[in-house]
Amino acid sequence: MSITLNHISKSYKNVQALNDISFNVKAGELFGLIGPDGAGKTTLFRILTTLLTADSGSATVSNFDVVKDYKKIRNSVGYMPGKFSLYQDLTVEENLNFFATIFGTTIKENYDLIKDIYVQIEPFKNRRAGKLSGGMKQKLALCCALIHKPEVLFLDEPTTGVDPVSRKEFWDMLKRLQQTGITILVSTPYMDEAALCDRIAFIQNGSILEIDSPQEIVKHFSKTLYNIRAHNMYQLMESLSHYKHTFSAYPFGEYVHYSDNRMDMNPNELHMYLVSKGLNEIIIEVTQPTIEDTFMALAK
Amino acid sequence: MRLFLGFVKKEFYHILRDRRSLFILFGMPIIQILLFGFAITNEINHVNIAIFDHSKDVTTHEIINKISASSYFTINQLINNEKDIESVFKKGKIKAVLIFERDFNKKLITNKSPTVQIIADATDPNTANTISNYINAIIQTYVKEINKDVPVVYQINAQSHMVYNPELKSVFMFVPGVMTVILMLVSAMMTSISITREKELGTMEILLVSPLKPIQVIAGKVIPYVFLSVINAMVIIVLSIFIFKMPVQGSLILLGFESVLFIITALALGILISTISATQQTAMMISLMGLMLPVIILSGFIFPVGSMPLPLQIISNIIPAKWFIIILKAIMLKGVGIMYIWKETLILLAMTLFFIILSTKKYKIRLE
């Protein structure tokens, strides 16, 4: 096991940030921590990277205890905090050089590892890091976290505030890095990125809701899910939220995702209800739940 | 070691690329020393005075001539009316009025001791005092002159001789003080700001999750500033020697060592400040309020410690700047060697060790 957590709890003054968290990450796994802002993701990262100590419970990274062996962990992991944390007044190359140096290595030594990412920012290597675009900053930060060839890589919301194209490129890189045997723990508030992980953990209000692979986790959605649309989407949402059998209804792309609170629900009945509310061009069809639907249902 | 050098190199990049801190580092010392040297002075020069002469005779004329001949005073106005005295003071230009009583010469000849009244504007007490002393001195000299053929019985001559600063130049007093203030400010404020900046920008998080040891981070922060502060100290000394003709009687090497010691004291204080403040703003406020004011007021830089109330005198002992100013004055003006200032040096050394130990103890290896 590359990372283990046993009953980790942590609270700040009067906020319970983490509540009895336990899970394991296998060596070489790309593990995603999925949850909204304030769910406790950053606290969890900080405990694993030895920056904070838990109130109770124990955790190991690469078989080192996060409290007792914190120095060994600090030597062997790569950490990319959620906030951009490089030196803005240093150039791209100087930043990378600095992080290589303080980890006792050189850019040349581990160039293979960062090559794919670095070639994209190399044209700007003399530009100050503060003047880079969001996506570029994240790529540079990833390079800096990787430059010493860590065994475990911690990425705290690496794609927040990054454009969709750069996000996709970033995840492609993570997949390639995984091939080199690095264990990656990544957190994200984006559900579409969750599907790219080997396994994901849903986290909310400091508790783990469910852990499984993206393919399996949707099976935890026990109800039938419907796509519904009509000529007036706003009125449709209004009507559905007043329908007595509604279990959940929320906009999802061009549809409303609807689930019923009865096991034997008849779509025609709902259709008639919606017509009675003055809606037309109504479409009701069964659809497959996504990771996001599953999260919404579990978080309810 | 390579890790450490890499860190120091990065610190130099930070300093050299930040124009604002570069200005504080090198502009401020020069401006301050010039300001203190030229603008702040206790000497008087061409002070405007007015004369109210009731007798207008030979003697008063001679005295007035003597006064106007000195470069200290300019006779600006002659008053003929009692009421005018108040109005000239209210206008503010005249700082003193000299009143000769009626029949001045007659009284003098008949041995009745005539009086001259000096009315000085004491809104600035120091200047008023100096003016009155200078006028007194001029009149005394005149009296001696007219009495030189008359044998005087029972006379005491006080002969004052000013050592170490015979011309009583106030710049000699300010240079050690300014040097202390600048070294304290630059060293303590800049290090505390540069450490808290890492906390504020989140880079401290990455530095913590790296093989760098706390002592390497602290030393890496401090070394560039030791280097820059030494340059600063040299600039100040060179400026004061060449522009203000400040003598350095003692050994320059000893002066150098003592300065480095004080710089390290200030840096240790800066690190201590950074361990208790979370933002650059707080660090700056603590440095300014907590260091600048005591350094200026309680160190003996401007106000002599000996004339303060006892509680303040006791407090002044814990201010490193007080001891450094004593050392500086001793080396620069008195030219003494280490035998005379080992006690002060030892106190500074002890304070430095105390601050360093305290700040390494308080340095957080985690975020909490």
Helices (H) and strands (E) in chain A, counts: 11, 14
pLDDT category at A25 given cuts 50, 70, 90 is very high
Chain B CB contacts of A51 under 8 Å are 205, 208-209, 366-367
DSSP H/E element including B289: none
Of the candidates B146, B179, B211, which is a domain's last residue? B146
B194 in the same domain as B318? yes
Strand order in the sheet with A152-156: A77-80, A152-156, A183-188, A30-34, A199-204, A207-212
User: Is the confidence at residue A3, as pLDDT, over 90?
Assistant: yes
ipTM of the shown complex: 0.85
Q: What is the pLDDT along chain B (368 residues), one digit of tens a residue?
A: 888 899 999 999 998 898 887 887 888 888 888 887 777 666 778 889 999 998 888 889 999 999 988 888 999 888 888 888 888 888 888 889 999 988 888 888 888 888 899 999 988 888 888 889 889 888 888 888 888 777 766 777 778 888 887 777 777 878 888 889 888 888 898 899 999 999 998 899 999 999 888 888 888 988 999 998 999 889 888 888 888 888 888 899 999 999 999 999 999 999 999 998 989 999 999 988 888 888 888 888 878 888 889 999 999 999 999 999 999 999 998 989 899 999 999 999 999 999 988 988 888 888 87
CA distances from B99 to A21, A159, A161, B120 (A): 93, 86, 82, 11
Q: Which member of B6, B17, B211 has the closest CB to residue A98? A: B6
DSSP H/E element including B366: none
Q: Residue A203: name the closest of A15, A23, A50, A12 by CA.
A: A23
Chain A residue closest to B197 (CA)?
Answer: A87
d(CA B154, CA B167): 31
Q: How many CA atoms lie within 13 A of B128 on its CB side?
A: 10
> What integer best gives the mean pLDDT of chain A?
91
Q: Residue A194: name the closest of A208, A213, A210 by CA.
A: A213
Per the domain annotation, does B156 fall within a domain?
Answer: no
Best mutation site among A102, A106, A147, A153 for testing chain B: the one with the most B CBs within 10 Å? A102
d(CA B24, CA B303): 26
B3 at interface of A, judged by CB pairs closer than 8 A: yes
Higher per-residue pLDDT: B36 or A240: A240
Per the domain annotation, does B299 fall within a domain?
Answer: yes
B276 in the same domain as B174? yes
Q: Residue A275: name the closest of A263, A286, A285, A283 by CA.
A: A283
Per the domain annotation, does B153 fall within a domain?
Answer: no
pTM above 0.90, yes or no: no
- Residue B301 pLDDT: 83
B253 in the same domain as B199? yes
Instruction: Note whether A32 and A212 are within 8 A (CB).
Output: no
d(CA B154, CA A33): 101
Please name the amino acid found at residue B78.
Answer: L
- Residue A200 pLDDT: 95
Per the domain annotation, does B334 fall within a domain?
Answer: yes
B106 in the same domain as B30? no
Domain range for B141 is: 47-146
Token pair, residue B162, equals: 């000013």
User: Is the confidence at residue A73, as pLDDT, over 80?
Assistant: yes
Q: What is the mean pLDDT of residues A234-251?
A: 91
B213 in the same domain as B109? no
> What burial class does residue A253 get, using C-beta atoms within 10 Å of its C-beta: 0-12 exposed, 13-18 middle, 19+ buried?
exposed
Place of tokens 């009945």: A269
- Residue A51 pLDDT: 94
Per the domain annotation, does B185 fall within a domain?
Answer: yes
DSSP H/E element including B331: none
- Residue B152 pLDDT: 67
Q: Which member of A81, A94, A102 has the closest CB to residue B202? A: A81
Place of tokens 């020697």: B241
Token pair, residue B106, equals: 């007659």
Number of domains chain B is built from: 2
Please name the amino acid found at residue A269.
Answer: E
pLDDT category at A258 given cuts 50, 70, 90 is very high
Instruction: Note whether A227 and A284 are within 8 A (CB).
Output: yes
Per the domain annotation, does B28 fall within a domain?
Answer: yes
B16 at interface of A, judged by CB pairs closer than 8 A: no
Chain A residue closest to B19 (CA)?
Answer: A89
Q: Which member of A49, A88, A104 has the closest CB to residue B209? A: A49
Per the domain annotation, does B155 fall within a domain?
Answer: no
B207 at interface of A, judged by CB pairs closer than 8 A: yes
d(CA B75, CA B94): 9
B326 in the same domain as B199? yes
- Residue B40 pLDDT: 66
Query: Burial letters for B29-61: b for 16+ Cβ neighbours within 10 Å, e otherwise?
Result: beebbeebbeeeeeebeebebbbbbebebebbe
B297 in the same domain as B183? yes
Q: Which member of A50, A90, A98 has the closest CB to residue B366? A: A50
B188 in the same domain as B319? yes
Strand order in the sheet with A64-65: A15-25, A3-12, A56-61, A64-65
Q: Residue B200: name the closest of A102, A40, A83, A187 by CA.
A: A83
Per the domain annotation, does B158 fall within a domain?
Answer: no
B346 in the same domain as B268? yes
CATH number at residue B135: 3.40.1710.10
**Interfacial A residues in 38-77 facing B (CB < 8 Å):** 46, 49-53, 70, 74-75, 77
Q: Where are the alpha helices (DSSP H) in chain A?
A: 41-48, 70-76, 92-102, 111-121, 134-146, 164-179, 191-194, 214-217, 233-242, 267-276, 291-299
State how far Cα B49 lies from the chain centre: 29
B216 in the same domain as B138? no
- Residue A198 pLDDT: 95
B54 in the same domain as B11? no
A103 phi and psi angles, rounded to 5 deg: -95, 10
d(CA A69, CA A71): 5
- The percent of residues in chain A predicted with pLDDT above 70, rounded, is 100
B181 in the same domain as B63? no
DSSP H/E element including B52: strand B47-53
Q: Which member of B7, B13, B366 has the closest CB to residue A102? A: B7
Query: Burial letters for B293-307: b for 16+ Cβ neighbours within 10 Å, e otherwise?
Result: ebbbebbbbeeebee
B167 at interface of A, judged by CB pairs closer than 8 A: no
d(CA B347, CA A290): 71
DSSP H/E element including B152: none
